[in-house]
Amino acid sequence: MKDKEYKVGLIHGDLSPRNIIVNDSSMYLLDWGTAAIDIIPYNEFGIILIEGEADKEEFNSFLNGMGIDEKKYVEIKTTIRKSNILHRLDKYRWATDYDVENLKNYTDKLRQVYEKNNAVAP
């Protein structure tokens, strides 16, 4: 992954039906409290996948809105998953104790969560 070029931008961080209001033909995103500058679109996809809240139709609508077709998604799916694990690892590590010495403990915990949620991801 370190040899790839990535695009950085603003991600919402909590895309879900509860944070979207649709009015006629307009859509509004609410609750920008977890927004961050991050790798796009990989980490936004990763958050949606690991939370498992979006059904297949909602996920496909998100892909469409991002201008990504099924073929392109298949191409970037592995990178999305790897990026998401790294993203979650960093957040978890800093949220618990800023520990840089025991990364194995964090990766083991994250791998368990990832494998559990990976089975239900679209």
Reported pTM: 0.57
Spans of all domains in the chain: 7-118
Stretch 53-78: mean pLDDT: 84
Mind listing the pLDDT tens digit for each residue in 4-53? 788 888 888 887 778 889 898 888 989 998 888 888 777 777 777 767 77
Q: How far apart are CA 82 and CA 120, in angstroms?
A: 17
Decide if pLDDT at 100 tops 80: no
Question: DSSP secondary-structure letter at 89?
Answer: H
pLDDT of residue 30: 92
- Where residue 67 falls (left for φ over 0; alpha for ψ -120 to 50; beta otherwise) is left
For 56, residues 6+ apart whose C-beta sits below 8 A from its C-beta are: 122
pLDDT of residue 120: 43
